[in-house]
């Protein structure tokens, strides 16, 4: 009954996501919402969303009346519910996408101001594209400050050029970094009062105050919010959930690799000593009193080496859990959901040792069976060979008969540091066998950017680089291989070989014409063997001018018969490219570029299939999103084509829906945070020294990385990757497979 849904905050922790999932599903079934009320479930990855929705569908028969969304989207929607839609706009005035173009406009105006010498030196003599790269980095940095360093931004807005450490002690900004505070004040000064109030830290404070004053009516809020499977959350979201728990039932089900208190086994523990300890200690040993040099005798080495990111998150949870103890909590057991199995295989024993915080000398010395293949390592000489070895190993695994628990392709995940370099090898190895072949393994590749897989987007990316292209004969041939483009010019697939033969026979090699070659600095090459040269030869050959030709043009005499009509579409295509090249070599405002781009698409593309229409719609939506960001930032400066390309294609890549996760076959994807979904077989490829943990280039102006400025919960790429490795180890159920080249 819905009257039993009482507000409060509950944090469940466990080392197996299946146990947490079952507990959450049981709780939802025991306390259903009223009909037509929507269940809110927050996850931090699309993979976790798919996995949880399938579990809900398996339990209920259908996954309906359930909103599964990302926490950031939920948080902004909650701001608008609590404070009102008039007080909070649909988008913050300083969201990263808008802030990028605001900085793009403001940076040139500040370069001659006192304090901006470092930026002046960096941008001096460079074009708009370099300025855009800097604006993107700065927008991302200020976005991180809005999440993790709101106290810095408040101090800078008040005119105090200082950094505050974890204890709140101020440190003056270095002289060569004062421009960050100056630039932030410049951004704030041009905002209206309403826009300034819509900055995330200020909206957050306003919502917390409204909830504390009981000014938000409960009817505006959902009855229950479930946060599932996250391994990291910003403090702003945790603050909001604690505040909401006074009126909303908040159920958090979060993975924890260890049943005991383990925060003190890693350096940086002194920053967390004031946080109450919510989990018990192993053997009643206070690890805070043990020196780090002696910690190997009291803790698991993998947890100490790879667990820093998770440690910080667990301690954050302890602090927020302590704040909620005085509230009216749901009547759920508060102990963690940890399994008790000692483990039979090597993989299971390792997972149990991490769970129980066993130091190396206390690990059970059980002999490993000769048939134990639960942890497998392979070394190969190239990524291609890694995939070939993996294919053979998966065929062997899938061929093994286990009537009690048969292995299916969907039970296997293959993760790599970067999926893009591996995608061609995956398609070459696994895609060579047809579905009827015994060696065929169904698979899906997730996380690839759309423009790396869809022909129309590949063609668009090429067109947006036209001023720098040599326009080889094969490149225009690839353009005509795109069905939507060939359809626009009335060409059929069977026409392509004849056109290719004519293009080669007419001597077309590269270059649109003499002017285009001169633009590339190759004026000495003239027009010989260009597209203009070859087209004139073909047209003159069609007229039957004979071997003598006309005006020093030698005709290409193979043009004739009914097939001669193919020259018309080719000439039309070259006319479109000629017009676009002239436009692309100039500059234009964002509005003008958008119109030029739409004219180009209308002239080149005729979508017909559903997938083509969806791609065209995605392209148009991305262009509109870029225009909206520029308009919101007041950016209307004439810019070269490269700026349009970065803004437009970047918006295409950011659009949701690229790639498929858990679609039925073996899932190939990038190693990303928050993917600790259990799979029977977890494979990690490309684990080369230097490639993983992945390198994160350090920005000199990233003040969060300055000595003495670290705070628990700060994100770091290498620490994320180490924790990802730990999550991969703990999420494998039958085999952990690791290979490198």
* Count of alpha carbons within 13 angstroms of residue 242, beta-carbon side: 20
Rounded to 5 degrees, φ, ψ at 101 are -80, -25
Rounded to whole angstroms, how far apart are CA atoms 511 and 480? 17
Res 546: pLDDT: 65
Rounded to whole angstroms, how far apart are CA atoms 370 and 363? 19
* Count of alpha carbons within 13 angstroms of residue 476, beta-carbon side: 25
* Cα 29 to the center of its chain, rounded Å: 33
Res 606: pLDDT: 96
Res 157: pLDDT: 96
Three-state SS at 413: strand
Closest CA to 719 of 257, 318, 304, 356: 304
Rounded to whole angstroms, how far apart are CA atoms 459 and 466? 11
CA distance from start to end of the chain: 57
* Cα 332 to the center of its chain, rounded Å: 35
Domains of the chain as residue ranges with CATH: 2-85+204-257+307-323 (3.40.50.10930), 96-190 (1.10.10.160), 375-448+660-740 (3.40.50.300), 456-633 (1.10.486.10)
Res 562: pLDDT: 78
Res 574: pLDDT: 96
Written as one string, the DSSP assignment of 195-207 is HHHTSHHHHHHHH
Token pair for residue 159? Answer: 């005119």
| Beta carbons within 8 Å of 338's beta carbon, 6+ residues apart | 14, 15, 16, 19, 259, 355
| Beta carbons within 8 Å of 595's beta carbon, 6+ residues apart | none
Q: What b/e readout covers 659-685, taking b as 16+ CB neighbours within 10 angstroms?
A: bbbbeebbbbbbbbbbbbbbbbbbbbb
Three-state SS at 516: helix
Closest CA to 416 of 732, 677, 728: 728
pLDDT per 10-residue tile (average), the chain, 741 residues: 73 92 92 90 87 89 91 94 91 94 96 91 87 95 95 96 92 94 96 93 93 66 93 90 90 93 84 71 86 88 92 82 53 69 92 95 86 95 96 94 83 94 95 93 88 89 95 94 95 92 94 95 94 92 71 81 88 96 97 97 96 94 96 96 94 67 85 78 95 82 90 86 94 96 93
Token pair for residue 366? Answer: 């059980």
* Count of alpha carbons within 13 angstroms of residue 701, beta-carbon side: 22
Written as one string, the DSSP assignment of 140-155 is HHHHHHHHH-HHHHHH
Closest CA to 311 of 282, 268, 353: 268
Closest CA to 184 of 209, 150, 212: 150
Closest CA to 91 of 641, 725, 632: 632
Res 50: pLDDT: 86
Rounded to whole angstroms, how far apart are CA atoms 265 and 279? 14
């Amino acid at each position: 009954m819905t009257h039993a849904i009482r507000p409060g905050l509950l944090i469940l922790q466990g080392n197996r996501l299946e146990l947490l999932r079952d507990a959450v599903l049981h709780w939802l079934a025991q306390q259903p919402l009223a009909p037509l009320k929507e269940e809110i479930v927050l996850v931090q990855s699309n993979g976790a969303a798919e996995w949880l929705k399938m579990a809900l569908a398996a339990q209920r028969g259908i996954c309906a009346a359930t909103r599964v969304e990302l926490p950031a989207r939920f948080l902004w929607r909650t701001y608008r519910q609590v404070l009102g839609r008039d007080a909070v706009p649909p988008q913050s005035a300083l969201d990263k996408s808008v802030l990028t173009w605001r900085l793009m406009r403001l940076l040139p105006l500040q370069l001659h101001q006192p304090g901006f010498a470092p930026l002046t030196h960096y941008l001096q003599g460079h074009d708009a594209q370099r300025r855009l790269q800097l604006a993107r980095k700065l927008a991302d940095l200020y976005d991180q400050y809005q999440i993790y360093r709101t106290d810095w931004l408040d101090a800078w807005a008040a005119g105090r050029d200082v950094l505050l450490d974890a204890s709140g002690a101020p440190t003056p900004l270095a002289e060569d970094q004062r421009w960050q505070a100056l630039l932030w004040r410049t951004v704030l000064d041009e905002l209206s009062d309403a826009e300034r109030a819509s900055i995330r830290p200020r909206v957050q404070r306003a919502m917390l105050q409204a909830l504390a004053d009981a000014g938000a009516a409960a009817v505006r809020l959902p009855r229950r919010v479930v946060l599932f499977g996250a391994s990291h959350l910003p403090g702003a979201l945790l603050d909001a959930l604690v505040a909401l728990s006074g009126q909303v039932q908040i159920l958090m089900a979060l993975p924890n690799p260890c049943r005991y208190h383990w925060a003190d086994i890693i350096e940086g523990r002194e920053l967390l000593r004031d946080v109450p300890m919510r989990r018990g200690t192993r053997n009643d040993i206070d690890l805070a009193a043990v020196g780090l040099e002696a910690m190997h005798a009291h803790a698991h080495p993998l947890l100490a080496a790879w667990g820093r990111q998770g440690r910080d998150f667990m301690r954050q949870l302890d602090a927020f859990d302590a704040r909620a103890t005085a509230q009216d909590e749901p009547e759920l057991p508060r102990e963690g959901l940890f399994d008790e199995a000692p483990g039979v295989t090597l993989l299971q024993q390792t997972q149990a040792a991490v769970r129980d915080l066993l130091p190396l000398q206390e690990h059970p010395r059980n002999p490993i069976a000769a048939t134990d293949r639960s942890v497998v390592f392979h070394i190969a000489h190239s990524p291609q060979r890694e995939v070939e070895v993996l294919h053979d190993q998966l065929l062997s695994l899938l061929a093994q008969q286990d009537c009690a628990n048969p292995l299916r392709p969907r039970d296997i995940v293959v993760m790599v540091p970067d999926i893009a370099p591996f995608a061609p090898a995956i398609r070459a190895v696994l895609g060579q066998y047809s579905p009827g072949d015994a060696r065929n393994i169904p698979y899906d590749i997730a996380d690839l950017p759309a423009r790396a897989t869809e022909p129309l987007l590949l063609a668009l990316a090429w067109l947006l680089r036209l001023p720098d292209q040599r326009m080889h004969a094969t490149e225009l041939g690839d353009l005509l291989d795109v069905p939507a483009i060939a359809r626009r010019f009335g060409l059929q697939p069977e026409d392509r070989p004849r056109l290719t033969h004519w293009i080669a026979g007419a001597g077309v090699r590269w270059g649109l014409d003499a002017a285009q070659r001169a633009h590339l600095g190759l004026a000495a090459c003239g027009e010989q063997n260009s597209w203009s040269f070859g087209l004139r030869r073909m047209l003159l050959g069609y007229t039957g001018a004979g071997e003598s030709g006309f005006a020093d043009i030698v005709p290409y005499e193979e043009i004739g018969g009914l097939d001669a009509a193919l020259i018309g579409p080719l000439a039309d295509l070259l006319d479109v490219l000629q017009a676009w090249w002239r436009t692309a070599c100039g500059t234009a405002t964002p509005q003008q570029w958008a119109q030029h781009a739409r004219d180009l698409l209308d002239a080149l593309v005729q979508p017909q299939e559903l997938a083509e229409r969806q791609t065209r719609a995605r392209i148009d939506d991305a262009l509109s999103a870029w225009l909206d960001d520029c308009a919101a930032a007041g950016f209307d400066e004439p810019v070269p084509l490269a700026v349009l390309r970065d803004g437009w294609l970047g918006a295409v890549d950011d659009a949701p829906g690229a790639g498929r996760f858990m679609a039925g076959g073996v899932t190939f994807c990038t190693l990303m945070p928050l993917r600790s979904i259990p799979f029977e077989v977890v494979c990690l490829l490309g684990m080369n020294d230097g490639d993983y943990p992945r390198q994160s280039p350090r920005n000199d102006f990233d003040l969060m990385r300055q000595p003495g400025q670290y705070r628990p919960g700060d994100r770091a790429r290498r620490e994320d990757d180490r924790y990802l490795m730990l999550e991969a180890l703990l999420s494998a159920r039958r085999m952990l497979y690791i290979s490198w080249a």
